[in-house]
A and B are shown apart, each in its own frame.
Chain A
Amino acid sequence: MADDLKTVLQKYAEKSCQDDDLDPEDKDVFLVSAQKCLENGETDSETLLREVSNTANAGFMCEVGWDLLPVVTPFLTAGKAPDTVQQHCRGVLGALAEVCKPKEFVLGILEKLEGLEDDNVFKALLTPLQRVLQRLTGKRAHCIGLTLTTLHSHLTEIPLPSKNKPQDPEDESWRQFGVDMKDKHVGRLLDTTEALLEFVQPFVQMARKDSSIEAAMNKEELKDLEVLRKELVKFLTRLFKYPLVYLNLEELPVKEEEETPGTEETGQTQEPQQNRCRLCAQTNMSYLQALDPSFSRLLGLCDHYCGPPDMRAKRKTKSADKQQEGEEKTEEDDGKEEASLLGLCCFSYLLFVENICVEKLPAVLSHEFLGAIHIVLICEVLKKPHRPVIHKGLELTKKLLGNLEPFSLSYEILELQPFAVLPESLIHVMVNCPTKSLRKLAHDQFTAYVEKFDWRGRYQLLRGLMEKTEGHAGVMGLIIGKVKDQIDTCLKDDPPSDWFTGNKLSELLRKILHLPDGATTDLLDNRDWIMPALNLLRYLVIRDKPDQNQTGVWTDWPDVEKGFLRQLRTGVNLSKSHFQEELKKTRLKQKNTNKPEVQASIEVAGDKMPDMPYEQQIMVLESSMQMFSVIESLLGRITEVTETYRTGEKPQGKIYKRETDWKCSDFHAAEDDKDAVYMTCPCCGEKTKMPPGFEPPKPGEELKQFDIELGPPDDDLQYL
Chain B
Amino acid sequence: MAENSSDQAATSVTSTGGDDITPNKDGGVLKKILRQGEGEDRPLAEDKVSVHYVGTLTDGTKFDSSRDRDDKFEFTLGKGQVIKGWDLGVATMKRGELAQLTCRPQYAYGKRGSPPKIPEDATLIFEVELLDFFGEDISEEKEGGIVRRVIKKGVGYDRPKEGAIAEIHLLGTYNGLVFEDRDVQYIVGETATDHGVVEGVDYAVTKMKAEEKWRVQLKSQFAFGNEGKKDFNIPARAQVEYEVELKNFEKVKESWQMDTREKLEASDKVKAKGTTFFKGGKYKEAVTQYKKILDYLEFDADRIEDEEDKKSAGQLMLAAHLNLAMCYLKTDEPYEVINHCSKALEKDPNNEKAFFRRGQARFTIRDYEEARSDFNAVLKIDPNNKAAKNQVTTILHHQKKEREQEKKLYGSMFEKMAAQGCEVDSRGKHGGDSNKLEGREMDGADKDITMKNDKDSAAGEP
Q: Are A and B bound to each other?
A: yes
Once bound together, how far apart are the Cα atoms of A369 and B81, in whole Å? Answer: 5
Q: Is the CB of B64 within 8 A of A363?
A: yes
Q: B110: nearest residue on chain A (CB-CB)?
A: A405
- Chain A residues 438-491 with CB under 8 Å of chain B are 456, 460, 463-464, 467
Q: B5 to nearest A CB, angstroms?
A: 15
Measured between beta carbons, the chain A residues less than 8 angstroms from B83 are 364-366
Interface string of B105-124 (1 = CB under 8 A from A): 00001111010111000000
Nearest 3 pairs of A and B residues by beta carbon = A293-B71, A363-B64, A415-B158
Interface pair A359/B117, CB less than 8 Å apart: yes
State which of A293, A369, A498, A507 has its C-beta within 8 Å of the C-beta of B256: A507
Q: Is A211 an interface residue (CB 8 A)?
A: yes
Interface 1/0 per residue, B99-141 and A, CB below 8 Å: 0000000000111101011100000001000000000001111
CB pair B69 A360 closer than 8 Å: yes
CB-defined A-B contacts under 8 Å, sample of 25: A294-B69, A294-B73, A296-B73, A314-B162, A317-B145, A358-B116, A358-B117, A362-B73, A364-B64, A364-B82, A364-B126, A365-B82, A366-B80, A403-B112, A403-B114, A405-B112, A412-B157, A412-B158, A414-B257, A415-B156, A460-B257, A467-B254, A467-B256, A503-B300, A503-B303
If the complex has contacts A315-B203, A330-B140, A366-B83, are A405 and B111 also in contact, measured as CB distance less than 8 A?
A: yes
* Interface members, chain B 187-224 (any A CB < 8 Å): 189, 199-200, 203, 206-207, 221-222
Contact between B69 and A355 (Cβ–Cβ < 8 Å)? no
A315-B203, A315-B206, A467-B254 known; A294+B55 contact, CB < 8 A = no
Question: Within A289-320, which residues are at the interface with B (CB < 8 Å)?
Answer: 293-294, 296, 308, 310-311, 314-319
Assembled-state Cα–Cα distance A413/B69 (Å)? 33
- Residues on A with C-beta less than 8 A from B410 are none
Q: Give the contacting residue for B80; candidates A319, A368, A507; CB below 8 A.
A: A368
B249 within 8 A of A: no
| Dominant secondary structure at the A interface | helix
Chain A residues whose CB sits within 8 angstroms of the CB of B159 once the complex forms = 308, 311
Inter-chain pairs besides A311-B207, A318-B140, A503-B300, 14 sampled, C-beta below 8 Å = A210-B70, A314-B189, A318-B141, A360-B69, A362-B64, A363-B114, A364-B86, A365-B75, A366-B83, A367-B109, A369-B80, A460-B256, A502-B303, A503-B299
List the B side residues contacting A403 at CB < 8 Å. 112, 114
B66 within 8 A of A: yes
Secondary structure of the B contact surface, majority rule:
loop
Q: What is the total of A-B residue contacts with beta carbons within 8 Å?
A: 113
Provide the bound-state CA to CA distance between A311 and B207, in Å. 8
> How does the 8 Å CB contact mask read for B42-85 relative to A, with 1 for contact and 0 for none?
00000000000101000000011010011101110001111110
B55 touches A364 (CB 8 A): yes
Given the complex of chains A and B, what is the CA–CA distance between A405 and B299 in angstroms? 34
**Contact of B146 with A by CB under 8 A:** yes
Q: Nearest chain-A residue to B204 (Cβ)?
A: A317
Minimum C-beta distance from A337 to chain B (A): 14
B contact residues around A416 at 8 Å (CB): 157
A209 interface hit (Cβ, 8 Å):
yes
Distance in angstroms between the alpha carbons of A701 and B264 in the assembled complex:
51
The size class of the interface chain B forms with chain A is: 35 or more
Give the chain B neighbours of A315 by CB distance below 8 A.
Answer: 162, 189, 203, 206
- Residue of chain B at shortest CB distance from A416: B157
Q: What is the 8 Å Cβ interface bit string for chain B, positions 159-184, against chain A (1 contact, 0 not)? A: 10110000000000000000000000
Given contacts A317-B141, A403-B112, are A362 and B117 in contact (CB under 8 A)?
no
Taking CB atoms, residues of chain B closer than 8 Å to A369 are 79-82
B200 neighbours in A (Cβ, 8 Å): 317
In the complex, what residues of A have CB within 8 A of residue B138's CB?
Answer: 317
Chain B residues with CB below 8 A from A368, complex form: 80
Q: How far is the CB of A470 from chain B (nearest CB, A)?
A: 13
* A316 and B140 form a contact (CB under 8 A): yes
Q: Smallest CB–CB gap between A364 and chain B, Å?
A: 5
Residue in A310, A364, A502 whose Cβ sees the most chain B Cβ within 10 Å: A364
Flag if A364 contacts B303 (CB, 8 Å). Answer: no
Q: How far is the CB of A520 from chain B (nearest CB, A)?
A: 26
| A residues in contact with B162, CB < 8 Å | 314-315
Instruction: Assess the A413–B71 pair: CB atoms within 8 A.
Output: no
Chain B residues with Cβ below 8 Å from A293 are 69-71
**Would you call A317 and B139 a contact (CB within 8 A)?**
yes
Which residues of the other chain, A, contact B141 by a CB distance below 8 angstroms?
317-318
Residues of A within 8 A of B140 (CB): 316-318, 326, 330
- Residue-by-residue, is B435-447 near A (CB-CB < 8 Å gives 1, otherwise 0)? 0000000000000
Rounded to whole Å, the gap between the CB of B215 and the closest CB of chain A is 18
Which among A209, A355, A365, A467 is the interface contact of B116 at CB below 8 angstroms? A355
* B residues in contact with A311, CB < 8 Å: 159, 161, 206-207
- The residue of chain A having its C-beta at the shortest distance from the C-beta of B81 within the complex is A369
Task: Return chain A residues, CB-CB under 8 Å to B71.
Answer: 209, 293-294, 296
